Structure 1
Amino acid sequence: MNVAVIGGGGREHALARKLAQSDRIETVYAIPGNDGMRDVAEVVPEIGETDFEKIAALCTSKQVAWVVVGPEAPLSEGIADYLEGRGIKVFGPRKEEAKIESSKAFTKDIMEKYDIPTARYKAFTDYDAAYSYIESVGAPIVLKKDGLAAGKGVIVATDMDEALAGLDALMADSDAPIVIEEFLEGEEFSLMVLVNGDYTHSFEIIAQDHKRAFDNDEGPNTGGMGAYAPVRHIPESVRQEAVDQIVGPMARAMVSEGLDYFGVLYLGAIVTDKGVKTIEFNARFGDPEAQILLSLMEDDLVDVLEKVDRKEAFTLTFSPRYQVGVMLASAGYPGSYDKGHTIDFEAVREKSFVSGLKQENEGWVTAGGRVLLVTGEGETIESAIDSAYHNVDQVKFNEGEVFIRRDIGRHALK
């Protein structure tokens, strides 16, 4: 069969690579894809990820059996609705269900209604009301833009100056509401869940992302500067608590609200002294967690999609090894940055996922904020960290043009 992957980042590179490993797949079409995917997929750069009419035409002409949607933008704009209306099977939620990510206020309201553990919150469209609320509750506090922000629309303010400056920043460029939440203290983790209505299958392992730009969790929030799995210092009982207290209730709550979710549900959770609580839900695989988890998964992804479609019970099998991924990002990210800087990663290409690079004059140049995730594996977390950074050090780039964090995976050593 033929399949298509929508999107052009590192998560989609991982999806295309994983699907291409299936004996059942003839061709993977990556729309629009990126140059790093050309060894595993037929890249279609002339079609954008939200050009639904052209995507449908290609999928029809190429007899595509499954479309797997990677990024949030096409989901929130209704790609699943459009393609399914033309008889094309999509793994990814429809527009209304994708509001679980595209509207934080929508999601928080559902969690409040069905008593799903999360931080206390209020949503605001009025600046003065939000300002007064922040003054009344104080800091630390969390401010979130209501809408898609590629993982960067969150401000964790440790004091009042940061909180009020964050309020100014989030309300300056948009009329969208902001959600103000209590600050939760604890260790965070990511859990991927396969959902089909009231049916759920949670991944048997969890991952940890590193959101802040710099070492020691300092600097602004990003789309993710690295990840690792499994997270064995967080006990299985915690993952199971998240499944029982958050994942299952949320799936049933969506059904009760008339929603029919089909796709991956990403749970960002935190272990507090009062139990596991929800930080966020996303309507797709996490990035860079997907690159790590799909690499460790030993199952055929096509088989998995079909079992979820049929609501079958099954168990996923993951490699017992650890994997660590380190993100190379353009200097200045998540703020403004230059493009066109040369990177040579041929020595570790098979261990890397391209996020924002393009081929130019037989070489590679930067074309985005996050540009390349370099991975390493090991029998222990220590050896996986060493392997990842050994591989990073084989990548050639100019200092000052690209930066990395040097502490990915170190949470597991504490």
Structure 2
Amino acid sequence: MKVLLIGSGGREHALAWKIAQSPHLRGLLCVPGNAGTGVYGKNVPFPLTDIGALVDLAEREGIDLLVVGPDNPLADGIVDRFLAAGIPAFGPTAAAARIESSKAFAKEIMAAAGVPTAASHVFTNPADAEAFVFASGRSWVVKADGLALGKGVIVPETIGETIDAIHHLAATPAGSHLLLEERLFGREVSVMALCDGQRLLPLPSARDYKRFGEGDTGPNTGGMGVMAPVDDVPPALLDQIVQQCLQPVVNELAAREIPFRGVLYGGLILTDAGPKVLEFNARFGDPEAQAILPLLEGDFLEVLYDCAVGGLNPEKLRRRRGYAVCVVLCAEGYPGKPRKGDQISGVEAIDDDQVIIFHAGTTLGGRGLCTNGGRVLGVTGVGTTLARARKRAYEYAERIKFDGKYYRTDIGAE
């Protein structure tokens, strides 16, 4: 089977690493890829916005399966175009991907499906949103309706901060519509499931760390690290989440003739009244994938293909016992304007088969391996206990060197 993998981050390196373990793989093209994906296949520096040219490339190369990592190509309809060309795709169509690309649509689906979630109000005019806040006399969580690279949600503490958040998000491309949502309290978890349009295969739960600073302080980022699984999501609760929060969404979309095939990602909060959905994503999380994929055993590529053609068999994947912790190493200036071009050393010295280094913002050239983005590397440690997984991740995070390197030291410190 020849695979075309879309994306260039740590998630895509993790997908390439896992796909390459399949005996069915005959070839892997990564568009555009990074220094890590190039180890398992051929990187093709191609613009993701030219979907027609990507279809032509796939047809020339005899691609058997498209695997889409990031959200924007999904929202732009890349899967629709490949399906029209007769090429199976792991990832939802643009209509199904609206579960992520439009938070208002996601709320509509959840209401129709009876999924527990926070009460919310949608506004097309920032002035109307402001008036609502002042009339309510309290703060609200403010969300941009569209895709915002993981930075479209602000959790204010006061009315003034809520107004500031409305102004900030309304000025972004994703903020033409705004949601004001009641704030829920509890511990957050992520639950992802592979979907074939009807059936679900839940993956190990995860907890990601979005804020830049220690103790969940500072600005939101694309993700500073993640641990999996989460001990406060035992099997019974995971089953409850699937049955009450994920499966009803898949059923509702199927009833609307919008089958969801790919990864349905539920961002949840464990409240005193039970789990409630904060948001849905339509793809693997980043860096969640870098902790979850090392915990899976079985032919991952075969399962992705089965999902794409509507024939998921949950027995083909098994969960490895133990834990994984991924620590993200960031460049100087992240999450604002990260510095690029700093030389990286220490990656080649990794000598532990329970540690995987996933490339994100890297490039390989005449000066060797260098930084090329804000989140540079993800260091994943695996262990029979959470403590052992953390120890391995942090030991090797320290060994890797580049100027301006920053990482949080409390990932997985439950």
Tell me if both proteins adopt one fold, taking TM over 0.5 as the criterion.
Answer: yes
- Contact kept in structure 1, 2:356 and 2:379, CA below 8 Å: yes
Q: How much does 1:388 deviate?
A: 0.6
- Contact kept in structure 2, 1:50 and 1:79, CA below 8 Å: no
What is the match of residue 354 of structure 1? 359
Q: How much does 1:233 deviate?
A: 3.2
- Contact kept in structure 1, 2:34 and 2:43, CA below 8 Å: yes
Q: Distance in 2 between matches of 1:366 and 1:351?
A: 18
Q: How much does 1:342 deviate?
A: 2.3
Structure 1 unmatched runs, 5+: none
**CA shift digits 1:60-105 (9 cap, x unpaired):** 1221111100000111000011111111111111111111111111
Q: How does 1:213-228 map to 2 (within 5 A)?
A: 213-228=212-227
What is the match of residue 56 of structure 2? 57
Q: Distance in 1 between matches of 2:160 and 2:343?
A: 39
- Contact kept in structure 2, 1:348 and 1:374, CA below 8 Å: no
Q: How does 1:133-148 map to 2 (within 5 A)?
A: 133-148=132-147
Structure 2 unmatched runs, 5+: none
- Contact kept in structure 1, 2:99 and 2:106, CA below 8 Å: yes
What is the match of residue 413 of structure 2? 410
Q: Distance in 1 between matches of 2:172 and 2:399?
A: 41
- Contact kept in structure 2, 1:186 and 1:273, CA below 8 Å: yes
Q: How much does 1:196 deviate?
A: 2.3
Kindly provide the amino acid, as one letter, of the partner of residue 379 in structure 2.
Answer: V
What is the match of residue 231 of structure 1? 230
- Contact kept in structure 1, 2:206 and 2:292, CA below 8 Å: yes
Q: How much does 1:336 deviate?
A: 2.4
Cα gap change, 1:160 to 1:333, in 2 (>3 Å): farther
**CA shift digits 1:177-234 (9 cap, x unpaired):** 011111111111111112222322222x211111111111111111111011111233
Kindly provide the amino acid, as one letter, of the partner of residue 34 in structure 1.
Answer: N
Q: Distance in 2 between matches of 1:218 and 1:137?
A: 27
Q: How does 1:16-55 map to 2 (within 5 A)?
A: 16-45=16-45, 47-55=46-54
What is the match of residue 163 of structure 2? 164
Kindly provide the amino acid, as one letter, of the partner of residue 177 in structure 1.
Answer: H
What is the match of residue 10 of structure 1? 10
Q: Distance in 2 between matches of 1:22 and 1:259?
A: 30
Instruction: Give 3-state SS (helix, strand or coil) of 1:34's partner.
Output: coil
Q: How much does 1:252 deviate?
A: 1.1
**1:247 maps to 2:246:** yes
What is the match of residue 383 of structure 2? 378
What is the match of residue 402 of structure 2? 397
Kindly provide the amino acid, as one letter, of the partner of residue 39 in structure 2.
Answer: D
Q: How much does 1:363 deviate?
A: 1.8
What is the match of residue 189 of structure 1? 189
- Please identify, of 128-137 and 179-188, the stretch whose mean Cα deviation from structure 2 is larger: 128-137
Kindly provide the amino acid, as one letter, of the partner of residue 13 in structure 2.
Answer: H
Kindly provide the amino acid, as one letter, of the partner of residue 11 in structure 1.
Answer: R
What is the match of residue 94 of structure 1? 93
RMSD across aligned positions (CA):
1.6
Q: How much does 1:267 deviate?
A: 0.8
Q: Distance in 1 between matches of 2:171 and 2:39?
A: 43
Q: Distance in 2 between matches of 1:219 and 1:139?
A: 23
What is the match of residue 107 of structure 2? 108
Q: Distance in 2 between matches of 1:273 and 1:28?
A: 46
Q: Distance in 2 between matches of 1:159 and 1:402?
A: 34
Q: Distance in 1 between matches of 2:37 and 2:162?
A: 41
Q: How much does 1:312 deviate?
A: 4.1
**CA shift digits 1:386-405 (9 cap, x unpaired):** 1110010111122xx23111
- Contact kept in structure 1, 2:264 and 2:280, CA below 8 Å: yes
Q: How much does 1:139 deviate?
A: 4.6
Kindly provide the amino acid, as one letter, of the partner of residue 27 in structure 1.
Answer: G
- Contact kept in structure 1, 2:195 and 2:260, CA below 8 Å: yes
Q: How does 1:160-309 map to 2 (within 5 A)?
A: 160-174=159-173, 176-203=176-203, 205-308=204-307, 309=309
Q: Distance in 2 between matches of 1:162 and 1:340?
A: 37
Q: Distance in 1 between matches of 2:310 and 2:78?
A: 22
Kindly provide the amino acid, as one letter, of the partner of residue 406 in structure 2.
Answer: F
**CA shift digits 1:144-166 (9 cap, x unpaired):** 11111111111111222322211
Q: Give the number of aligned pairs.
A: 407
What is the match of residue 84 of structure 1? 83
- Contact kept in structure 2, 1:139 and 1:157, CA below 8 Å: no
**1:331 maps to 2:338:** no
Q: Distance in 2 between matches of 1:322 and 1:282?
A: 23
- Please identify, of 239-248 and 340-349, the stretch whose mean Cα deviation from structure 2 is larger: 340-349
- Contact kept in structure 2, 1:229 and 1:322, CA below 8 Å: yes
Q: Structure 1 length normalisation: TM-score?
A: 0.94
Kindly provide the amino acid, as one letter, of the partner of residue 37 in structure 1.
Answer: T
Over the matched positions of the two proteins, sequence identity in percent amounts to 41
Q: Distance in 2 between matches of 1:348 and 1:149?
A: 34
- Please identify, of 270-279 and 364-373, the stretch whose mean Cα deviation from structure 2 is larger: 364-373
Q: Distance in 1 between matches of 2:51 and 2:310?
A: 26
- Please identify, of 52-61 and 121-130, the stretch whose mean Cα deviation from structure 2 is larger: 52-61
- Contact kept in structure 1, 2:14 and 2:290, CA below 8 Å: yes
**CA shift digits 1:9-52 (9 cap, x unpaired):** 1111111111111111121110111122111111112x122321
Cα gap change, 1:371 to 1:312, in 2 (>3 Å): closer
Q: How much does 1:135 deviate?
A: 2.4
Q: How much does 1:337 deviate?
A: 2.6
Q: Distance in 2 between matches of 1:313 and 1:87?
A: 22
Kindly provide the amino acid, as one letter, of the partner of residue 403 in structure 1.
Answer: Y
Kindly provide the amino acid, as one letter, of the partner of residue 167 in structure 2.
Answer: D
Kindly provide the amino acid, as one letter, of the partner of residue 12 in structure 1.
Answer: E
What is the match of residue 393 of structure 2? 388
